[in-house]
Structure 1
């Protein structure tokens, strides 16, 4: 009888998959959470929550720290693709609409694994025939049914954190291309330098920029005035930088000494030249 009761009470608990999804949804919504908070949320033991957190961290979905877990980026760790998808969607849409102005039918285009590039990918069928090269799974899903898009996927080692293909084979494939336009984003920038937390991603993004005859950097305002562990490329190495406000006037003035910088609003505001 005791065994039947235990089985009955256990069946009322969420499955491991549903419990872990509950944890992920909660952390993505809040940015971070303590172990005690997640234990109360799920109704399971502290040890079970620790196992769930360890597995989710190994899969690159969440990041562990002492006493809790986070989806937020730091100077050392980038946030997961799932978290970035929900951050600043209006600003990414504005950046994407501005980036359309650099494209014409028949062009070849390389897009990185940023969610800002994904926002642009959603608009590409408006342009007409294009060849798109990308290492981001979500961009391939977005464009695979678009009739006018010739889609080339960069292969390599799959990263669950970034939901993209990276590594040496991906890097070599990117270096084999020469495209009309490359559009990328990254984690942080100052008025003179761009940054990313992971050296492997730095190599991929740098190779993408070098593969484009024209390079465009798209950055929402939350990334400006910050740095991360690894230097990516100088601001001057990009042909165009597109930002969303607010950006300090002094920072804009310094950037504009180095390259073309445009500031776009999230509504119907005009581009600031």
Structure 2
């Protein structure tokens, strides 16, 4: 049985029974204890199950949203890889939007040396990165709104601000991505604000590490085909690359520096 098939079987068992023990999975799937634990680790990184002592349990679902600090500790190397791969897309003198999220916060650190950049963001951590460096040739616009667990400013005030601007490019962080649901978030208000930012931009660049693949939040921000560029990391599975390559305009994979230009 392939790893993907095992993981699908584990996920199905967890969802049907609310949890699964490593010992039971070893017996049912006929593989080693270590293999099962690795499979659970993969599923947990994607937010599909929660690891517990001796097994895995079901997560809360499509509205479960970890706080910013918790998310910042997940896939840190991958986020840096994605940020470095995405940064060259921001050109000097351009106006870019940066949505909230820990991956987009990593991107902010890579953009502080881009000259004459205008940044519009609904992310408090992203704005802080630029404010602390205080470059006179950069302009940072922080939208207002209500603060979410991911340190995003959302709601009518943020949406009104986004509706009045025009961006060359939006760098969008997402909770999940799938063929069926597109790019998603577990927060309905954040989805509304992100959709307003997407509408304000000529080009959409989505930043999403491999753990976001096949993870679905309650609200869709945009379809996969709406992304002009998707930047992910080298651990993105081959089957995911194939699926995404059929939808997005360009797939850039960090670490190994590869990119795939896709014919429409």
Q: Identify the residue that residue 94 of structure 1 maps to in structure 2.
A: 81
Q: Identify the residue that residue 160 of structure 2 maps to in structure 1.
A: 172
Instruction: Tell me if structure 1 keeps the 8 A contact 2:85–2:257.
Output: no
Q: Which runs of 5+ in 1 are unaligned?
A: 1-71
Q: Identify the residue that residue 112 of structure 2 maps to in structure 1.
A: 125
Q: Identify the residue that residue 178 of structure 2 maps to in structure 1.
A: 190
Q: Identify the residue that residue 37 of structure 1 maps to in structure 2.
A: none
Matched residue SS, 2:258 = coil
Runs of 4+ displaced beyond 6 Å: none
Q: Distance in 2 between matches of 1:244 and 1:209?
A: 22
Aligned counterpart in structure 1 of residue 92 of structure 2, from 80, 99, 105: 105
Q: Select between 245-254 and 204-213 the one with higher mean Cα deviation.
A: 245-254
Matched residue SS, 1:91 = helix
Q: Which runs of 5+ in 2 are unaligned?
A: 1-58
TM-score normalised per structure 2: 0.71
Q: Identify the residue that residue 139 of structure 2 maps to in structure 1.
A: 150
TM-score normalised per structure 1: 0.68
Q: Number of matched residues? A: 199
Instruction: Tell me if structure 1 keeps the 8 A contact 2:206–2:229.
Output: yes
Q: Distance in 1 between matches of 2:84 and 2:249?
A: 17
Q: Distance in 1 between matches of 2:98 and 2:85?
A: 15
1:91-146 deviation line (CA, Å, top 9, x unaligned): 11111111112111100011111111111111112221100011111111110133
State the Cα distance separating 1:89 from its structure 2 match: 1.3
Matched residue SS, 1:126 = coil
Q: Identify the residue that residue 63 of structure 2 maps to in structure 1.
A: 76
Q: Distance in 2 between matches of 1:217 and 1:137?
A: 19
Instruction: Tell me if structure 2 keeps the 8 A contact 1:252–1:261.
Output: no
